[in-house]
Structure 1
């Protein structure tokens, strides 16, 4: 149905064409005139009129001549009102079997409407609507197929079919059946498109309805005649096989890897691999080009002599010698590598300089034999000519640059840019044309049967979630990965714990975590060496302790959780205690800033098992450890055991530790220990706050002898009672020790003095507020009170038999090892030890 012309239409054809052309980006007067085939005066006048109406603006910062014009929000609104006017004029009753309409046409610039379904960014258009049936199938004999267009870089707009008012994007509905033309058809999607090959005119007039062609066989030239599948056009089954060079500027590492993998078949890949490749091999022929860069003014004869001597030196180091300056320059430009006459198809540019990489590219350009994919990680301008030669050559499949603008390299046939969603890119064909692609996945991959939204965040979650019969998804919290990363990880999890070494090898470069999980346990030590820098934190714990070399375990410690650190330290400690001589082989770690602290910990843990020959090593390790005192409780207890007599080296180490403790944070274990020992040595009183700090930070075994007095002091203050209620301590086991028991902090040996336990001293326990510490305190009071009153043994809260601790052991019932399975472990241990010594041994 055709209605009267709306006042919303843009009446000037020049104005409309210019506004539509400026949708994609700005342009000068000459750009507009050339692109739209207008005379300069006409273009200049039209732009002037559009500026006056506020539809465009001009950037005058660099002068009026050559100034860039850009469309304004008002200009875009004017184009949208024009589109709505086209809808009002041409869209009425939809012909049966048709699902698209031509709304406007200005040369290659089209305005199209699609019923209910948003089209992909690559559009097939019929030469003649009568060539296709209602399902979009080709029916005419002698037809000439389809024309192609691309959706321009503007969002498709949804409109209500009845009111032509803007509507939100709708879910896709079914296609190609009679049900499409029922009451479900409530929306029309308006898109702006740009024709391929406009020199061949498209004769569909505005208002023409047609069926979208389906099952088309050939895409536009350059998009379908290549050998490698880059990906599919998003929202379609159109597969893109580019035949021309692509210049990519991708913001995502995953997009980079996917693009490289998609185009990598039989190509030489020159890239900055995520994981450093071992035994890097380079073609020795590139030395010819490198030498010329090194000595641009040297005559040809001398160049050839130098090239020959350098290549001879690299291929057989004993045959010729070359100046040290050249040897250093080789290492500077290429890093550590092996030189060979063979071509390595995977060349890692880690350690390269831009000069070395440029020489490598020039070498392959000279061969003109191998297709190449190049990742250029340096500035563009210093090597612009080389990169332009590469992108214009027949051997370049893909050039990926990391800095500068893609426009810095001229004449790139295609440009590739990342889209916000990982794995999706925009292939830019020209200023006006681009298509949105989902990058293909490497063929032959093992895919996960199920890809869940969550994955294990670390080894701890993996172990908790793994049940043997499947995975407990409720134990997984990792949710930051994109779909492709999750897919790889779930493929790896489905192989766990047995793994698949071949699959792990194939995925190591691009998906190191998935590779790590899929690696059989016995092979992980070797893979750790290769990919440790690329693994996220929390996954080193999959290393098998027994099979992993000691030095690798040291390197893994800083990335492990505390529980695994304890296991690693115990494993290394056992190795050194079994073979003291092995320890000497690792003395160099004391000079390693990253590992010296961990090595010193192990040495000090072993110190009481080492002979006098290791005293210097122990002292050196202690000096290192005091800078960063890890595992302070274990180390101090090991250095100054309460059961051994004092020696001169031990006394010297004690003085060193006490002196160093004073410079550490006041809430650290080392500082509190040093302050406590110093107070005991000098017989200085300990304040309420100090005692509370010591009880909070230091093991109670270090202050057993002071525990009862400290408890009474805390009970006599409000702040002390509040603190006691919120701090759990096994008070019955602390105050009920045996007379003469050895105790005290490391470095200050004491013997426990039996206290005169009186319930009146502890009466304030009854007003301690509810908290985690209250049950233990109540047990302490009832234990003493019931004994004083000669009452029946109460049932304890922290342990059923806790009240036995203050009663004569002759009254105790029979106790066996099962007591250790009940209640507080410290109370249970003391009960068992007392029963064993006082009841079994004395009998």
Structure 2
């Protein structure tokens, strides 16, 4: 390893690493192939150095005494941040191991009761047999544990197998004492990628008793060798459009949509006028599809044959199929990528990007959130994108997976294709035999009509459903096409269990009856319905008019009130013609019984009411929120009182603010809120706290105005002179400054490092959440010219602050 590699591996700064290496050289524990001080020299342990390391391991292994008689127990020998030294009585050949963060007690543990189990990656190639009784290296036992032998249960001179491991994902502080033996509980492990992204591509498993890993919307696959690529290709669902050279075009012939030629002609003739390009493209399509005789320039035909070879083209829509690029030229492969980028179809794509494809095209494929898999082995950087790559230490099917947050883990690839409905299933439960989203009882599974509806009539036989509805309403609902299920549900809802309403989708309910659907829906699904509602408002300008219930605001049902709140939240996307109706109907209906999630409704209502009515609106919201202690508007009301000097900002209330109030609203109080939240127990495990881009909120100039409902003349105070010291003292007190090395607290780490570098007059810190976050703490006159392309690739709020060039010091 080089000095730089050791620095990255140990998370120590280069000067500290160099100083330590000089000491080790003097003691003849390390050496290098080059002269000391040579740049890029590889550092290695000398025989004396290896002996010192082994003696240290032997000494620590003596803490394993007494040794238990079981084969499944594991001993914690030593821990150093995320690096662990473990021991077992047999060779540990699992890929991962479950580690408790404290002494396990009882049968089960959850939450803050008992131990929390964490996955760690096992590095068994460095394993060593040690006899802790004699303090010497031992040979591998000839006879493993024999339950029929009395010697197996005696202490004797039994050796232990010592191996290294590294914690995956969340690096929780481990309070387990060295020498503690425990039995791993994989069924209680906190998944390192929880919550799972809910995508339909299953990548593989970390352990047979731990739930599988699923890909996010965007995944880069960098598996070397054709076998590995074919193995991965088998896991990709059939509804994907696959564009790659993995499949042989001769064995899997597929036609190419003719629209690709529009993209190719631009690459084949880059200096030709657009009108001439359109003419040539149309002529080429007519000629190769034999529609009519067309004259195509010879140079176009020559380039076409060179790039496309014997490829077949067809006039067709984008479909889920495989297009082979095995025999295609560089321009043809570029054209397919451009076509994918320009396509408006909803079909997910898996596409291969070769080494000869320019970086800008690769980056363009990363710029949207559509379901996309990119096969690529190039060296292009892609921050914030999940990647599946080859494992250099293990053969296939082992690979390495890095999620979008940088959490890396070994993984065993499997070839199981899963549907979307299976993604969120709990692996600890027996899988349902039903393809429905409804959990069936034993009697329902055995019902022949329900079985018939599931197997033969599902969503496709309304006539049969009408015949059986009177005696078998559940089977009738299953057989009914989706767009017609709401009408049938209204007829049978009093005769069947409420769970069957899950078969009625939000988007399949007529717009004018949507408030009735909300009246009887599971309230836990309202956040999901809110997202769908906002999308429908943006996609269909007539939707707000059609969804508006014909009920007076004073007698509005819960469904009508919910519709009113969503219309107010989407007021910016609704035609101005409806503004007056929102003022006169939606605002009173919403205030009659405000839903628990209404902060965005307040924002919309405040913008549409007239200036003279704003104070009355705020007074009404304060009054309505008083009776809703669990609503986000109750938190807003209390937050406004704090701003006005009539309330106190406590640690527990700070958590509620971060959870329920928009970040831009509480930015002026970001310093106080953060310092308050650091007083909470185990704040480093608080997802709301750790996910906030604190640098973008706290590092703002003094006097920057902030406007939101109830804010008055609120200005940002800017970071105080003692902010950095207060942060460091709070973290040093609990749990310790070393917690900043954890990936989960990257936002707080970036804030502290940005302030520290600015205070010491050092260059801006290169952040984890955004490479340029350090500039937010630097005086504006020091800022260089920054290209817009350099601002992407990090937290969006930090990017926004950089775009508007707002620093904590504007002089």
TM-score (norm. length: structure 1): 0.41
